[in-house]
Amino acid sequence: MLKKIQETVEFITKQLDFKPQIGIILGSGLGDFIKSVEIKGELLYSEIPHFPVTSVDGHEGKLLHAEYAGKQILIMQGRIHYYEGTAMEQLTYPVRIMKFLGVEFLFLSNASGGMNENFKVGDVMILTDHINLMPNPLIGKHYPEFGERFPDMSDPYDKDLIEKAEVIAQQKNIKVHKGVYVAVTGPTYETPAEYKFFRIIGGDAVGMSTVPEVILARQIGIKCFALSVITDLGIPGQIEFLTHEMVQEAAAKAEPRMAGIVLGLIEKV
């Protein structure tokens, strides 16, 4: 793996020639984020040696060099999902690349089903913790270059970034919730019984991404911040038929608020 990472890093560095401080994985809710930053260069995932390629509608599959507020940013426009059949080692490969490129902060977004009775469709949730029901991305051969074999996960989402985001949201008059994200494999949406179970074990929202990247990032010392847009409700009496198109539509409506928080954080880190 180390040889592959070196080849990938060398290729990206040669093509984009910058050292990013911030990495962003654009999931649902931040699809149009790139309109708010200055794009300096781009690469298709398919052009990058050893880089995974996404196949999900709405995920572009581009690696972008961007600038905003004087900060150098590496943006993944489109994430990789476990349900696409991608091995965890490959799914989290881009996060390892971010580390070797110099990334210190990782911001992520996702769409999720809300199970907290206080949530409504279109609400934004700041992740404070997670429950991982997906295979752990650290299973397999250990590479000391990436951190501990048994990394601490008592602080998966950086408390300082969360506090800053809350202040930004208040200043911009953006309503936000805080909560625990349950990560499942998908690609099916949840049954009523599954929603109930996830709520009982402590979840506020459930989705199919984010956590593998966060686990890997924390192992290698990158600070993380993540936002969920609540695109449907898993609350008894409020569960309705759901499609991917409906999720995308709900996420799009929340994009200005999600982007406002992330842009504010970029200014403050």
Length of the chain: 269
Q: H or E segment at 226?
A: strand 223-233
From 25-29, 98-102, 113-117, 214-218, the region with the lowest mean pLDDT: 25-29
Residue 165 reports pLDDT greater than 80 = yes
The DSSP call for residue 146 is G
CATH at 179: 3.40.50.1580
List the domain range (segments joined by +) for residue 220: 2-268
Q: What is the pLDDT of residue 259?
A: 92
Cα–Cα distance between 7 and 17 in angstroms, integer?
15
Residue 257 reports pLDDT greater than 80 = yes
- The reported pTM is 0.94
Overall domain count for the chain: 1
Cα–Cα distance between 176 and 21 in angstroms, integer?
26
Longest dimension (CA), the chain: 55
DSSP string, 37-97: SEEEEEEEGGGSTT-----STT---EEEEEEETTEEEEEEES---GGGT--HHHHTHHHHH
Q: What is the pLDDT of residue 101?
A: 96
Q: What is the mean pLDDT of the chain?
A: 93
**What sign does the dihedral 171-172-174-178 (CA atoms) show?**
negative
Q: What is the pLDDT of residue 56?
A: 60
45 residue type, one letter: Y
Q: What is the pLDDT of residue 249?
A: 82
